[in-house]
C-alpha cells in the first residue's frame, strides 16, 4: 500500500549565467541512497498476491505461526521483486521453484 503525497512546485530559479559543478554519473550514483524492502504487511493482508507472486498456494496460518517460515517467505518475495526490477524474472521463478522443491523433498 503506497501513500500518495501531493507537492506544490515552486517556480524554478533562473539558471542563466550560473555555474554548476560537474559530477560523473558514477559519483552521482554513489551519492544515491536507495532502500529496498518487501512490504510484508501488504502481503499478509493479501494472500492472493503472495500466491500470485510465488506461483503456488501457501498455508498462511502455518507461515504466521513459524518465524523461520515467515522470514523465508519474506526473502522469497523480496528476491522475486528484485528480479522483476532487474528484469531477471524467468530465472528468479525457476530458482524459487527449485528451492521450494528442495525444501519439500527434505521434509
Over residues 79-98, mean pLDDT: 70
The confidence score (pLDDT) of residue 101 equals 57
85 by Cβ neighbours in 10 Å (0-12 / 13-18 / 19+) ranks as exposed
Q: How far is CA 18 from CA 1, 21, 24, in A?
A: 42, 10, 19
Contact 82, 76 (CB under 8 A): no
- DSSP characters over 53-92: HHTS---HHHHHT-HHHHHHHHHHHHHHHHHHHTT-HHHH
- What are the domain boundaries of the chain? 36-106
pLDDT per residue over 22-72, tens digit each? 888 888 888 888 788 889 999 999 999 999 999 999 999 999 999 999 999
The model's pTM: 0.53
Q: Residue 82 above 70 pLDDT?
A: yes
Over residues 16-21, mean pLDDT: 75
Q: Please, which pLDDT band fits residue 1 given cuts at 50, 70 and 90?
A: very low
Average pLDDT value over all residues in the chain: 79
Amino acid at each position: 500500500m503506497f501513500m500518495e503525497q501531493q507537492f506544490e512546485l515552486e517556480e524554478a530559479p533562473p539558471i542563466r549565467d550560473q555555474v554548476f559543478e560537474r559530477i560523473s554519473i558514477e559519483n552521482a550514483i554513489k551519492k544515491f541512497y536507495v532502500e529496498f524492502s518487501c512490504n510484508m504487511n501488504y502481503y499478509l493482508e493479501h494472500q492472493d498476491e503472495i500466491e500470485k507472486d510465488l506461483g503456488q498456494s501457501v498455508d498462511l496460518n502455518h507461515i504466521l505461526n513459524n518465524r523461520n517460515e515467515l522470514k523465508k517467505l519474506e526473502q522469497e518475495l523480496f528476491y522475486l521483486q528484485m528480479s522483476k526490477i532487474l528484469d531477471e524474472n524467468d530465472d528468479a521463478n525457476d530458482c524459487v521453484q527449485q528451492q521450494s522443491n528442495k525444501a519439500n523433498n527434505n521434509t
